[in-house]
Structure 1
């Protein structure tokens, strides 16, 4: 999922240099170093185009070793969490996306970050498939990670806990909480800059106890709790990016823009799904078309122009 050619602003390039150790003059050297590490894991078919690998280097401040570790884990969770990554295409979650659980801003805050809002309390226990809810979340994150501005600036998350009940907490469970935290923090090259909790119910302590053990120490320091004090939230997130229910100027909580963008990229997801650990049918003599006979790897080595 390349997302097409993108032109970064001078400001974004300067930020990437200052915060992420990115230097256009040596960018390709780091990309090639990261690709060389693929040889240590011949059991994985790595996607290897510059645009894809660059997001991992940026997330790990151009430390190729750390970027490689995260990239390997990306393929490990895709193998381990089979129910989430099975049928991992937008069309499989189209109806789930319409339930009003996920929201991504179409604009950016003053630091160039997207704002993502999630309403787990809008999940209907016994009706909404929690696996599809998680899959929709991850598919959406994969989509915004195509954006170089987002790779550099990161995202801000708002967790709206209105309508959350014990039934929701039980449905989610510690296993799913662990999986969400693992993918978001350790597998996706996502810069999580802040997490804001709003509309916490009395059951909040029970719900929060599910996730807290899986948060990194860095993320724990970036948590903010606002209740229904939206003026306080606006000190961190501009009101022009927020739906009206949070005192913002966006008319409604709607993800139609991103839902359509994801569906339009269906084929890109299908292509990306071809990488990782080979399926049993492939390892037992499946098609090797397009693979290097020496490494078993396949991928494009296109130069990335910024």
Structure 2
């Protein structure tokens, strides 16, 4: 495998310090379409402790934790990326090599056929970042990216507010990282152990990542 540092390559417990930065979350309840919903908070990225490869690994961890649930396979997934706190310093990650590898990895994660990406609390800086990433993304991914700035009413047309926490104008439970990580990640070490044993052979053949 090329670029192994972009993939999970250690037992899941060894990524606890990364998970504890609370950049990634899985909402406990599915949305009104039966989709599993991820939340990514870029304001929690600690550039002094993290690298682009760490974000790719965290993406993979939450993705793999739910990817083989029958209802998730049927209905797909949705990611809400909260860009609050995104700064010019974050642009240092958007080097062509990083963008190319990250995009190729995303393209080969095709277990889930249906995925939407909703970006909230965006800004002109975020638009600049997206314009840098866009050439590396395939058309299917780009066609399913939606920007909402701080318009939560529009977001609620895609994700029912009953499952969202109050900070996103929802009526759902507050974020509980410990409970969610225990339920979806640490209690499923067998999934990640299998991933370590089998790797990404099929995807490598298709994408040569």
Q: By the TM > 0.5 criterion, same fold?
A: yes
Q: Residues 259 and 173 of structure 1: is their aligned pair in 2 closer, same or farther, counting only changes over 3 Å? A: farther
Distance 1:86 1:189 in 2: 17
Report the secondary structure of 2:47's partner residue. coil
Equivalence for 1:165: 87
Bigger shift: 265-274 or 92-101? 265-274
Distance 2:200 2:148 in 1: 42
| Equivalent of residue 209 in structure 1, options 131, 156, 162 | 131
Q: Residues 88 and 173 of structure 1: is their aligned pair in 2 closer, same or farther, counting only changes over 3 Å? A: farther
The equivalences for 1:39-78 within 5 A come to: none
Equivalence for 2:140: 218
Deviation at 1:252, TM superposition (A): 2.7
Q: Residues 170 and 218 of structure 1: is their aligned pair in 2 closer, same or farther, counting only changes over 3 Å? A: same
Q: Does 1:199 align with 2:121?
A: yes
Larger radius of gyration: 1
Deviation at 1:116, TM superposition (A): 1.1
Deviation at 1:242, TM superposition (A): 1.4
Task: Provide structure 1 residue ranges, at least 5 long, that are not aligned to the other structure.
Answer: 1-78, 279-306
Task: Provide structure 2 residue ranges, at least 5 long, that are not aligned to the other structure.
Answer: 202-209
The equivalences for 1:100-249 within 5 A come to: 100-249=22-171
Deviation at 1:172, TM superposition (A): 4.6
> Is the contact made by 1:104 and 1:117 (CA closer than 8 Å) also made in structure 2?
yes
**TM-score normalized by structure 2?**
0.84
- Report how many residues are paired: 200
Report the secondary structure of 1:273's partner residue. helix
Report the secondary structure of 1:235's partner residue. helix
Deviation at 1:119, TM superposition (A): 1.8
> Is the contact made by 1:226 and 1:233 (CA closer than 8 Å) also made in structure 2?
yes
Deviation at 1:212, TM superposition (A): 1.0
Equivalence for 2:198: 275
Q: Residues 99 and 232 of structure 1: is their aligned pair in 2 closer, same or farther, counting only changes over 3 Å? A: same
Equivalence for 2:188: 265
Distance 1:103 1:240 in 2: 17
Equivalence for 1:93: 15
Bigger shift: 202-211 or 134-143? 202-211
Write out per-residue CA displacement over residues 126-182 of structure 1, whole angstroms, 9 at most, x where no aligned residue. Answer: 223432232121021111012011111100111111110111121353433333332
> Is the contact made by 2:118 and 2:147 (CA closer than 8 Å) also made in structure 1?
yes
Equivalence for 1:19: none
The equivalences for 1:267-306 within 5 A come to: 267-276=190-199
Deviation at 1:240, TM superposition (A): 1.5
Q: Residues 176 and 104 of structure 1: is their aligned pair in 2 closer, same or farther, counting only changes over 3 Å? A: farther
Q: Residues 114 and 213 of structure 1: is their aligned pair in 2 closer, same or farther, counting only changes over 3 Å? A: same
Deviation at 1:277, TM superposition (A): 7.9
